[in-house]
């Protein structure tokens, strides 16, 4: 008769380089950054909230105010919660006109929001 083997015991605990962290979930609001020590003693700037995005228009970056998140392919619920990730489509204000832009940076890793006009 077949008998299942006993559960394997864990050989060791987690090492510091194996730990995972909570996602940044960057939102729209006043500029807030959290500095995190990463492997090698380097510092990562985790962007928690931001009011402006750097939008590339005609080979120049312009600072535009973020109004809302229109679509986010990472998770459909992120658009409702206004969470910004790479690839998100934002509605921004430029010269009193509302335009849609696509985020090209990783706010939770880079600490900044860069975007381009889609298409």
Q: What is the pLDDT of residue 18?
A: 84
Which distant-in-sequence residues (6+ apart) come within 8 Å of 44 by Cβ? 35, 36, 38, 109, 111
Q: Is residue 36 part of a domain?
A: yes
Whether 15 is covered by a domain: the verdict is no
Q: Encoding tokens for residue 7? A: 């559960």
- The CA-based angle 40-86-101, given to 5 degrees, is 140
The total of structural domains in the chain comes to 1
Which ranges of the chain have pLDDT less than 50? none
Question: pTM of the full predicted structure?
Answer: 0.82
**8 part of a folded domain:** no
Does some domain include residue 48? yes
CATH number of the domain where residue 59 is located:
3.10.290.70
> Which pLDDT score, from 0 to 100, does residue 119 have?
75
* Residue 5 per-residue DSSP state: P
Dihedral sign for Cα 30, 35, 38, 44, please: positive
Q: What confidence tens digit (pLDDT) does each residue in 70-87 have? A: 999 999 999 999 999 999
| Domain span at 30 | 23-116
Q: Residue 9 falls within a domain, yes or no?
A: no
């Amino acid at each position: 008769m077949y008998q299942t083997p006993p559960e394997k015991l864990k050989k060791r605990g987690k090492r510091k380089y194996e730990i995972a962290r909570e996602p940044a979930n960057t939102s729209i609001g006043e500029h807030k950054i959290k500095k995190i020590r990463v492997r090698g003693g380097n510092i990562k700037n985790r962007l928690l909230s931001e009011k402006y995005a750097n939008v590339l228009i005609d080979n120049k970056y312009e600072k535009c105010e973020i109004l809302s998140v229109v679509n986010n392919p990472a998770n459909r619920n992120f658009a409702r919660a206004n969470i910004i990730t790479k690839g998100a489509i934002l509605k921004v204000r430029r010269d009193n006109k509302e335009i849609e832009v696509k985020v090209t940076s990783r706010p939770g890793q880079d600490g900044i929001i860069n975007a381009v006009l889609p298409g």
